[in-house]
């Protein structure tokens, strides 16, 4: 087998490699482009750059996902996106507990009151809606970039049937060239995942199935 590969390589004509990178697109309104591409893949976009919009936006997310609880990734999410909260157990995040908020009648009120429970995968299996913060976003494809961190890792973003991602406008990039230029080695976690819309696959008989490898619903909330 290897000999056949060698003979084929010897007979193949060399292809000249490109001497420069291709031109990547630029957009006059990257937010509008991001929204367009996200919604083309079945994602749901909310503009909450005005903080007063957040309660109504999160209420809408809970109603659309039929959830009364939100499980939150970490404390950095609240600090990064200016979400006011109070924590019943001040050490919950430090101890790696699952941190969640309960909302009567699926109505969000601020500040968010956070409860906690011990981290167990059986608990994760019962989560219907989770929330995380995107490290970056790409307008070109409507993608968000997840960084794997300690604690729940990727589980909180892929196990629940619905997931909401908070993305800061200052972290929204034009294209993938800007993305890879903005990823200096050693400054991010063990892995980065680019997510574009809800999970989907057509591996079996070319039949499109939603939610096989991740959430069926993906919401992206843009903050300032």
Output 17 or 93, whichever has higher pLDDT.
Answer: 93
* 21 CB neighbour count, 10 Å cutoff: 7
Answer whether residue 151 shows pLDDT above 60.
no
| Fold classification of 27-223 (topology level) | Rossmann fold (3.40.50)
Give the C-alpha separation, 143 to 198, whole Å: 11
Q: What is the overall mean pLDDT for the chain?
A: 88
Residue ranges per domain, the chain?
Answer: 27-223
Q: What is the DSSP letter of 196?
A: -
Give the C-alpha separation, 27 to 10, whole Å: 45
Q: What percent of the chain has pLDDT over 70?
A: 88
DSSP state string for 30-73: HHHHHHHHHHHTT-EEEE--SGGGHHHHHHHHHHHHT-SEEEE-
User: What CA–CA distances, in Å, run from 191 to 150, 185, 186?
Assistant: 11, 11, 11
- Are 67 and 130 within 8 A, CB to CB? no
Determine the pLDDT at residue 89.
92
Determine the pLDDT at residue 188.
67
The string of pLDDT tens digits covering residues 18-42 is 778 788 999 999 999 999 999 999 9
HSE (side-chain half, CA atoms, 13 Å) at 153 = 6
Local confidence band at 154 (pLDDT 50, 70, 90 cut-offs): confident
Give the C-alpha separation, 211 to 198, whole Å: 7
Residue in the block written with tokens 């590969």:
5
Which range (2-6, 103-107, 180-184, 187-191) has the least confidence?
Answer: 187-191
The string of pLDDT tens digits covering residues 73-132 is 989 999 999 999 999 999 988 888 899 999 999 999 999 999 999 888 788 888 999 999
Q: What is the DSSP letter of 28?
A: S
Local confidence band at 150 (pLDDT 50, 70, 90 cut-offs): low
């Amino acid at each position: 087998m290897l000999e056949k590969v060698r003979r084929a390589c010897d007979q193949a004509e060399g292809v000249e490699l490109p001497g420069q990178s291709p031109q990547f697109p630029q957009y006059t309104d990257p937010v509008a482009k991001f929204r367009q591409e996200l919604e083309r893949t079945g994602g749901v976009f909310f503009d909450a750059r005005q903080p007063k919009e957040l309660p109504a936006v999160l209420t809408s997310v809970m109603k659309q996902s039929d959830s009364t609880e939100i499980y939150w990734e970490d404390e950095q999410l609240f600090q990064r996106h200016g979400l006011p909260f109070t924590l019943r157990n001040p050490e919950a995040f430090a101890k790696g507990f699952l941190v969640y908020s309960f909302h009567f009648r699926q109505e969000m009120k601020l500040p968010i009151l956070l409860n906690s429970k011990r981290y167990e995968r059986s608990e994760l299996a019962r989560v219907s809606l989770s929330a995380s913060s995107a490290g970056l976003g790409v307008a070109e494809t409507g993608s968000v970039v997840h960084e794997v961190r300690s604690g729940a890792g990727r589980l909180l973003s892929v196990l629940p049937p619905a997931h909401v991602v908070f993305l800061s406008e200052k972290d929204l990039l034009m294209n993938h060239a800007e993305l890879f230029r903005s990823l200096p080695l050693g400054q991010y976690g063990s892995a980065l995942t680019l997510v574009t819309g809800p999970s989907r696959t057509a591996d079996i008989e070319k039949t499109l199935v939603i939610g096989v490898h991740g959430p069926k619903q993906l919401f992206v909330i843009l903050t300032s």
